[in-house]
Amino acid sequence: MNRRKTPSKEKILAILKSQGDAISHETITNQITDINRATIYRILNQFCEDGIAHRIIAENGKQFFALCKTCEVEEHHHNHLHFQCNTCEKVECFESEINISLPEGYAIENFNGLINGYCNTCAPA
Ligand SMILES: [Zn+2]
Ligand SMILES: [Zn+2]
Ligand SMILES: [Zn+2]
């Protein structure tokens, strides 16, 4: 498959990079007006396949995307937890890696560990 660098890709990548936390698909499409939604989605999927970004599915079914930086180790995997704040709805990657022991013969393809709660700005006093 053709994986050329295109201006559209560069643009989406720049948005992902500008964001410390995971960013929702909605936010990305709202920030880009000159690329159609289907193309944006296709590019995001390519990023996931290529190990540039990963997808987090939030409780309400919303999709978030985050750059792969915490999961960039020898072998690419995404076994870190995500945290979503119930108040501001931001999604963050937690760097601590968790080890999941699977029954023999099972293989992990994706891990969508999501914790819900309140972030340090929104935590009730
Ligand atoms: Zn990753
Ligand atoms: Zn919050
Ligand atoms: Zn993550």
**Domain residue limits at 16:** 7-117
Rounded to the nearest whole angstrom, what is the distance from the C-alpha of residue 93 to the centroid of ligand 3?
A: 4
Summarised one tens digit per residue, pLDDT across range 49-86 is: 888 999 999 988 899 999 987 676 666 777 788 999 99
Identify whether 21 is part of a domain.
yes
Quick one: which ligand is closest to 80's CA? 3
Rounded to the nearest whole angstrom, what is the distance from the C-alpha of residue 49 to the centroid of ligand 1?
A: 9
Identify whether 1 is part of a domain.
no
Band of the pLDDT at 35, cuts 50, 70, 90? very high
Positions of E strands within the chain? 23-24, 53-57, 63-67, 80-85, 91-97, 114-117
Q: How many Cβ atoms from other residues are within 10 Å of residue 63's Cβ?
A: 15
Q: Could you give the percent of the chain with pLDDT greater than 70?
A: 93
The chain-wide mean pLDDT, for the chain, equals 87
Summarised one tens digit per residue, pLDDT across range 84-119 is: 999 999 999 987 777 888 899 998 777 778 999 999
Give whole-number Cα distances, 93 to 10, 23, 87, 106, in Å. 22, 11, 17, 25
CATH number assigned to the domain comprising residue 33: 1.10.10.10
3-state DSSP assignment of residue 44: helix
Identify whether 32 is part of a domain.
yes
Identify whether 125 is part of a domain.
no
Identify whether 47 is part of a domain.
yes
Quick one: which ligand is closest to 114's CA? 3
Count of domains forming the chain: 1
pTM here is: 0.83
Quick one: which ligand is closest to 121's CA? 2
Quick one: which ligand is closest to 48's CA? 1
Task: Please compute the mean of the pLDDT values over residues 33-44 and round it to a whole number.
Answer: 94
Rounded to the nearest whole angstrom, what is the distance from the C-alpha of residue 122 to the centroid of ligand 3?
A: 21
Structure tokens at 8: 């559209």
Rounded to the nearest whole angstrom, what is the distance from the C-alpha of residue 93 to the centroid of ligand 2?
A: 14
